[in-house]
Amino acid sequence: MRFNAFYDTTLRDGEQTPNVCFTPEQKLEIAMMLDDIGVGEIEAGFPVVSRKEFEAVKLIANQGLNARIFAFCRARKEDIDTALRCDVDGIVIASSLSDIHLKYKLKRCFEEVFRESLKLVEDASDHVFVSFTTEDSTRIPIRRLLAIYSRAIEHGADRVHLSDTVGVATNELVECYVTALKSLGCELLCHFHNDFGLATANSIKALMSGADKVAVTVNGIGERCGNACLQEIVMALEVLYGFDTGIKLEKLYELAKLVERYSGIPIHPQAPVVGENAFTHESGMHVAGVLENPLTYEPYDPETVGRRRKIVLGKHSGKRCVEYKLRELNISNADVQMLLGIIKTIREEGILVTEDLFKLICGGDRSGRS
């Protein structure tokens, strides 16, 4: 079953990560790769932010990509007018309607802000696909949120969003809110932040509960603790749920490294799918299992996502680890047991056993070497 439900916001919400600033050329390159791997919708940016941001969004929108291109706007006429001049396929209009945002951020009453937002949705819907979102949706009581979105749909919204702006949604809340919002008969996109480490799980729960799209970023970058991670959700849907996402899985690692390079945010070694250690093994019992059947300690073949398996040496290594490295480096006639003892001693002294160091150790093994 084909299930391409991804709305990528790496170029907008991802770029809102502190100290991240993509050039227009970098944005275009990332957008082109997102399009190439099969992402169906790309939020190219927030055009009113600056002249270069406007140029970047317009550049991407006019590139002739297969993906639909969106621009982000606050519920302000200036934002929407600027976005429409970018030739995008759609816009997101974000209005702050939760109690805490109205009281402390806007310092305005609900009725006034909502009335203005509906007028903007209505006017924009004559020109472009409109997604309407209330910031902080998951802290708005469900009955009020239903009333808000029902009116927005009446005024021309093509899609509404469940936006978990500060990452407080639980799986139970997601199921409840998605089920209720889908009763409105409108397309629903869910956008989760990762403040409690739940963004991936909540995104999958939303899709399984009937949501049409989820917002994602490459490597999960974004404000504070980041957004739902594209590659994590893709692989969970493909491997655990058996869906065909339409994504070119073998290019996920290349895309992740591109965003790492341009964002300046290193991929965590333990990051699922693309982290350095995702398919790296040291423990003797793990290596023994993997060498017999990789699925003993890997959930899927690393080549599926453009990766390679790596065996490293350290304190927890066993004879099979050493034997594997000897074969890999074409070293023969070595005393495996002696090498294993040396490796454990060196590692416990705080020294990493790199391949170069291992070769030196083997070179000092008088029992034989290649």
Residue 289 DSSP one-character state? H
Give whole-number Cα distances, 81 to 6, 76, 153, 294, in Å: 26, 9, 21, 54
| Token pair belonging to 332 | 């023969």
The predicted structure's pLDDT at residue 369: 39
Are the beta carbons of 116 and 75 closer than 8 angstroms? yes
pLDDT in tens, 280-324: 999 999 999 999 999 999 999 999 999 999 999 999 999 999 999
Residue 335 DSSP one-character state? -
Query: Across all residues in the chain, what is the average pLDDT?
Result: 96
Domains of the chain: 6-263 (3.20.20.70), 280-363 (4.10.430.20)
Are the beta carbons of 207 and 200 closer than 8 angstroms? no
The CA distance from 98 to 276, in Å, is 40
Q: Is the pLDDT of residue 258 over 60?
A: yes
| Token pair belonging to 160 | 């509404």
Are the beta carbons of 130 and 157 closer than 8 angstroms? yes
Three-state DSSP class for residue 236? helix
| Token pair belonging to 92 | 């997101």
* pTM beyond 0.75: yes
What are the E-state strand segments in 119-195? 129-135, 159-164, 187-192
pLDDT in tens, 28-45: 999 999 999 999 999 999
| Token pair belonging to 193 | 């932040």
Give CA angle at 26 (42, 163), nearest 5°.
35
pLDDT in tens, 50-99: 999 999 999 999 999 999 999 999 999 999 999 999 999 999 999 999 99
Are the beta carbons of 71 and 88 closer than 8 angstroms? yes
The predicted structure's pLDDT at residue 303: 98
Burial 346-355 (b: 16+ CB within 10 A, else e): bbeeeeebee
Give whole-number Cα distances, 245 to 49, 227, 266, 307, in Å: 33, 19, 26, 19
Q: Write phi, then psi, for 126 (nearest 5 degrees).
A: -75, -10
Distance between start and end Cα atoms, the chain = 52
Mean pLDDT confidence for 212-220: 98
| Token pair belonging to 223 | 């404000």
Q: Which of 16-30, 44-58, 222-236, 330-344 has the lowest mean pLDDT?
A: 330-344
